[in-house]
Amino acid sequence: MTDEIAFYHNPRSRSQMAHWMLEEVGAPYRIVPVDFTRNEHKAPAFLALNPMGKLPTIVHRGTVVTETAAIIAYLADAFPKAGLAPAPDDPSRGTYYRWLFFGAGCFEPALLDKMMKRPEVERKSAVGWGSYDDVIAALKAALAGGPYLLGERFTAADVYIGSELRFAMMFGAPDLEGERIFDDYVARLSARPACQRANAEA
């Protein structure tokens, strides 16, 4: 069975985050371009892989992986030589999981609320991400010890959270611009050769 990853990709999408991760781990991969304007992501062949009709999607050793955070975490484990995930018995694995899941379960929905101008719910205790302000404050606190989410160690959690932050700042999400801690973090991540290689095509 080939070790090459089939990477279903459109540079104008979240698959850009997976692209950076593929470059970080040095995985052998082949891009399968998906043209949104031609609705290729809703074609039966693609829906058979990902019934959501969404990117990113990868196929590795016969297994389909979808969901950006899952793909990033999967690649960190599948290519351990890159050292981008703490070992399962390393206590910092907990911190690592924490921020990966925070990215998918809190940061993304809070960000989309803001960007789509959805009104904040009155009972933030009943909403998993509380509020945009709480999420941003939590991220700020997490990065205070820097330079990365796990302190001195760069991990796949930085690829995911960092990609979301880059995206949020690019689109002018509130309370991020001019915040030294976010500016420095994103600049640090953007300087990584793997990030630059992935972004070269975008």
Ligand X SMILES: N[C@@H](CCC(=O)N[C@@H](CS)C(=O)NCC(=O)O)C(=O)O
* Residues in contact with 77: Cβ distance below 8 Å, sequence separation at least 6, in sequence order: 85
Measure the CA–CA gap between 29 and 18, rounded to whole angstroms: 11
32, 86 Cβ separation under 8 angstroms: no
Neighbours of 164 (CB within 10 A): 21
Binding flag, residue 67, ligand X (CB under 6 A): yes
Q: Which of residues 28-47 bind ligand X (CB under 6 A)?
A: 41
Phi and psi at residue 31, in whole multiples of 5°? -80, 130
Phi and psi at residue 183, in whole multiples of 5°? -55, -50
Classify 22 as helix, strand or coil. helix
Binding flag, residue 76, ligand X (CB under 6 A): no
CB of 104 to ligand X, least distance (A): 6
CB of 13 to ligand X, least distance (A): 4
Member of 11, 53, 130, 147 binding ligand X (CB under 6 A): 53
Of residues 128 and 178, the one with the C-beta less far from ligand X = 128
CB of 144 to ligand X, least distance (A): 27
Of residues 51 and 91, the one with the C-beta less far from ligand X = 51
Of residues 67 and 134, the one with the C-beta less far from ligand X = 67
Binding flag, residue 60, ligand X (CB under 6 A): no
Residue 26, sorted as left (phi over 0), alpha (psi -120 to 50) or beta, turns out to be left
The closest of 29, 58, 55 to 42, measured between CA atoms, is 55
Computed on alpha carbons and rounded to an integer, the radius of gyration of the chain in Å comes to: 17
CB of 42 to ligand X, least distance (A): 7
Member of 21, 27, 58, 68 binding ligand X (CB under 6 A): 68
Interface with ligand X: number of residues (CB under 6 A) = 9
Instruction: Please give the residue ranges that form the binding site for ligand X (CB under 6 A).
Output: 13-14, 41, 53-56, 67-68
